[in-house]
Structure 1
Amino acid sequence: MLDDLRRFSTDAFPEDLRPAAWAEVMAKVLMAPAAPAYDAPPLAGYVSARSSALESVFARLSSSPQVWLPHPGNTRRGGHTVLMLALLEGSGLVVEGQESVALAAGGIVLLDPARPWRVELNTDFRAVVIRLESASFVLRLVRTSGQDLNTISPKTGVGAVCLNLVRSIADELDQLGRHELLPIEATLMELLVTCLSHVDDEDAQAAAAPDDSTSVQLGHLRRVCRTVEARLGDAELTLEAVAALEGLSPRYIQKLFKAASASFGEYLKARRLERCRLDLANRALAHFTIAELCFRWGFGDAANFSRAFTARFGLSPKAYRAAPPADVAAGPTQRGAPAAGVTTTTSTRAAAAADTPEARRRQFEAVLTDHERYALALALAPKRAVPHAAEAV
């Protein structure tokens, strides 16, 4: 149907044929659109694409919200292809395994076609998707990275150059031929290798750090926890924002949480749910609706909040508010918890005495647990009343 992918518009197809035609387009970049929701508006999209002399595909897309998955045939392909997604306008989310990363305009992510991932573009968007062939070295860097998601920040020098190149490709794609794309493709791959190698350099420096590197990392994790706690009500709080505030790299922060058997996203959601739990049990806040309380702590969707709260605490927010437990402070804070009867402090000291991966994991878990308990105690501490102006001396 679509042997020539140079230009494509859904307007050229009846509404009932658009999804199939679009799926054929996305197969050229090794992606498959997920089935739309039953009440989704008609698909509207436009693609302009070119192939290089190495059979790489450069595609500029503008479309209504979509969800993309790896094409089912990707697992049968050889390991020499990398997908690059650069979001020029709009916003979205990339999910792979237990990790996820938010994409905003200017965000770039590299994807292994053979891995299971999910790209959710939840607004009208404009993007560039590049299928890089003969990219075995780049693919190896993607697969050997310490985290599953490989993002390129436009805030770094090389990342900004990479983004500017992609934007130029998008602007001039219709005028570029197969052989003109070849030097551009080579330049892009060099930039990607530099970006990914810079991440690996950070890992090498961390590995070569002195023996007290663990204590330094634990200190960093405590700082990150404090920053998160102070900004739980910010619905726009992201890993990248916390990293900028603390002067750390987003990937390094992800590694800190991974050492504690958690992820940044999971921790942020858990802290917000805990603060909502306290508010629901607080009779002084009974005049606030449940939706107002969840919005107060950074949740943007009341339905998603209700599902997350029920999954974590075993009761719906409404049921919890109607009959909160007698001891509100006894929240479920276990995280790979120690055996019953062993305090966190005791287990941490015992673990620290042994230089093993398990001991290190417990040290990092203890930081999160101790911080949660401290934050809970602080939230439940009585607040001193501000004296009336007439009483002030």
Structure 2
Amino acid sequence: MPLRHNGPPRSITFSTDDVPPPRRRAYWQASLAEVHLAMAIELSPERSFHAALEAHPLHDMMVIKASMTAHRARKLPSTALMGEEERCLLLINLDGYVELRQGQRAFSLSRHDIAMIDLQEPFDYHIPEQILVLALNLPRQSVAERLPQSADFAGIKLPASQPMQPITLSFFNNLFSTTGTAALHPPTSLRIAGHAVDLLGIALADVIDSRPNPSPYRANLLRRIKDFIEENLHEPLLRVETVAAKYRISTRYLAMLFRADGTTFSDFLRQRRLDRCRRQLEDRGAARRQIGEIALGAGFTSQAHFSRLFRATYQKTPRQYRSAFEGKPGPTRPTPAAPKPKAEMA
């Protein structure tokens, strides 16, 4: 059945920019409910919260793009009426970092990672800084029909390193742009929705067929390790041996934990350091800080090395990137276009 918002499906937009800070939590909860996401939001009293959302209908789906700053959220108990169809959420991380938990699966999404969330089951997430995500809210049955009957896809992560990711990312990013700029004829909308679920089924099956059984102990251990890394990014001597010794595990076991999460210790550490530097380059309040100072504060030991990595990741030098944000109004960074998929750095 098509999504309904007190009438025929329509495009909707929400932003907290004009909402007084004391009312933003309730406003954002109501905004998420409009796209069938009943969430309880928890904000930090020490930090200002900003969020924006744009959503477009596509047959019985809703294509969503949202930007959010730091907060936590958990799914509220289902209030679905008898006969209302069950739904699920495809979540594509375009920029930033988010930690999620559904059932026994706890994992993080870095840039270009994808997750599948079953909206009939409890889940929660934590955004430590800010994030830009693309999402597809769709009937659960349409996904289940394209997978083995026994497939449980709640809380599945599709790492950016998967061969299907560039195709999946490009398709859904273009899908959002198309639904936002063109009124599709109903038969066309139906066919495109079918192709979207077909592609999603292929990507999910590729992961389901190769994944090991989930281990709550390993998931919780990896989450604690990532939290420790986040708190110590500024330490230039933060190495795999240091972290392994902290948690009394072997370096081989630590490498296995990250490999099961679709990344490596080095790649995760490098990307989190780059993310911290990028946020400070976007911050007009930090404009007086030298780029070398920002790099050293994130644990890089050489400004030249940092600049090479930054340019390879964001296609701009740190100075060019900072210049793009100078003189722009508003407390939050503008919503960027989805970056093009690229191969992981060695």
The alignment's TM-score, normalised by the length of structure 2, stands at 0.55
Structure 1 residue 127, shift from structure 2 partner: 0.6
What is the distance in 2 between the residues matched to 1:88 and 1:194? 20
2:219 is aligned with 1:265:
yes
SS at 2:22's partner residue?
A: helix
Q: Which residue in 2 is equivalent to 1:110?
A: 116
What is the distance in 2 between the residues matched to 1:143 and 1:25? 34
2:100 is aligned with 1:94:
yes
SS at 1:145's partner residue?
A: coil
Higher helix share: 1
Aligned 1:192-341 pairs, distance under 5 A: 192-200=200-208, 202=209, 251-252=211-212, 255=213, 258=215, 263-266=217-220, 297-298=242-243
CA contact under 8 A between 2:29 and 2:41: conserved in structure 1?
no
Which amino acid is the alignment partner of residue 26 of structure 1?
L
SS at 2:99's partner residue?
A: strand
CA contact under 8 A between 2:62 and 2:138: conserved in structure 1?
yes
Structure 1 residue 122, shift from structure 2 partner: 1.9
Larger RCO of the pair (alpha carbons < 8 Å, separation 6+): 2
Q: Which residue in 2 is equivalent to 1:16?
A: 22
Calculate the aligned-residue CA RMSD, in Å.
3.8
2:119 is aligned with 1:119:
no
Q: Which residue in 2 is equivalent to 1:70?
A: 75
What is the distance in 2 between the residues matched to 1:29 and 1:195? 24
1:333-378 CA distance string (max 9 Å, x none): xxxxxxxxxxxxxxxxxxxxxxxxxxxxxxxxxxxxxxxxxxxxxx
The number of residues matched between the two structures is 230
SS at 1:123's partner residue?
A: strand
CA contact under 8 A between 2:42 and 2:73: conserved in structure 1?
no
What is the distance in 2 between the residues matched to 1:27 and 1:97? 22
Structure 1 residue 271, shift from structure 2 partner: 9.8
CA contact under 8 A between 2:56 and 2:63: conserved in structure 1?
yes
Structure 1 residue 264, shift from structure 2 partner: 2.7
Which amino acid is the alignment partner of residue 167 of structure 2?
V
Find the partner of 1:138 among 137, 143, 152. 143
Which amino acid is the alignment partner of residue 198 of structure 2?
E
Q: Which residue in 2 is equivalent to 1:390?
A: none
What is the distance in 2 between the residues matched to 1:143 and 1:118? 26
Structure 1 residue 52, shift from structure 2 partner: 2.2
Q: Which residue in 2 is equivalent to 1:61?
A: 66
Q: Assess, with a 3 A threshold, how the Cα gap between structure 1 residues 271 and 14 changes in structure 2: closer, same or farther.
A: closer
Structure 1 residue 171, shift from structure 2 partner: 4.0
What is the distance in 1 between the residues matched to 2:181 and 2:238? 48
Q: Assess, with a 3 A threshold, how the Cα gap between structure 1 residues 61 and 37 changes in structure 2: closer, same or farther.
A: closer
1:265-286 CA distance string (max 9 Å, x none): 34558999xxxxxxxxxxxxxx
Q: Which residue in 2 is equivalent to 1:31?
A: 37
CA contact under 8 A between 2:67 and 2:133: conserved in structure 1?
yes
Deviates more, 1:99-108 or 1:138-147: 138-147
Structure 1 residue 16, shift from structure 2 partner: 2.1
Q: Assess, with a 3 A threshold, how the Cα gap between structure 1 residues 40 and 57 changes in structure 2: closer, same or farther.
A: farther
Q: Which runs of 5+ in 1 are unaligned?
A: 203-248, 273-291, 300-304, 310-330, 332-393
Deviates more, 1:9-18 or 1:87-96: 9-18
Q: Which runs of 5+ in 2 are unaligned?
A: 227-234, 249-346
Q: Assess, with a 3 A threshold, how the Cα gap between structure 1 residues 130 and 38 changes in structure 2: closer, same or farther.
A: same
What is the distance in 1 between the residues matched to 2:171 and 2:129? 24
Find the partner of 1:174 among 171, 180, 185. 180
Structure 1 residue 199, shift from structure 2 partner: 4.1
CA contact under 8 A between 1:162 and 1:191: conserved in structure 2?
yes
| Runs of 4 or more above 6 Å deviation | 269-272
What is the distance in 1 between the residues matched to 2:25 and 2:95? 22
Structure 1 residue 95, shift from structure 2 partner: 0.6
Q: Which residue in 2 is equivalent to 1:280?
A: none
Which amino acid is the alignment partner of residue 206 of structure 2?
H
SS at 1:11's partner residue?
A: coil
Which amino acid is the alignment partner of residue 185 of structure 1?
A
SS at 1:34's partner residue?
A: strand
The alignment's TM-score, normalised by the length of structure 1, stands at 0.49
Name which one, 1 or 2, has greater alpha-carbon Rg.
1
Higher strand share: 2
Q: Assess, with a 3 A threshold, how the Cα gap between structure 1 residues 51 and 152 changes in structure 2: closer, same or farther.
A: same
Which amino acid is the alignment partner of residue 16 of structure 2?
T
2:7 is aligned with 1:7:
no
Q: Assess, with a 3 A threshold, how the Cα gap between structure 1 residues 181 and 66 changes in structure 2: closer, same or farther.
A: farther
Which amino acid is the alignment partner of residue 194 of structure 1?
I
What is the distance in 2 between the residues matched to 1:31 and 1:79? 14
CA contact under 8 A between 2:59 and 2:193: conserved in structure 1?
no
What is the distance in 2 between the residues matched to 1:47 and 1:139? 27
CA contact under 8 A between 2:70 and 2:129: conserved in structure 1?
yes
What is the distance in 1 between the residues matched to 2:192 and 2:45? 41
Deviates more, 1:85-94 or 1:153-162: 153-162
Which amino acid is the alignment partner of residue 183 of structure 1?
R
Structure 1 residue 121, shift from structure 2 partner: 2.0
SS at 2:116's partner residue?
A: strand
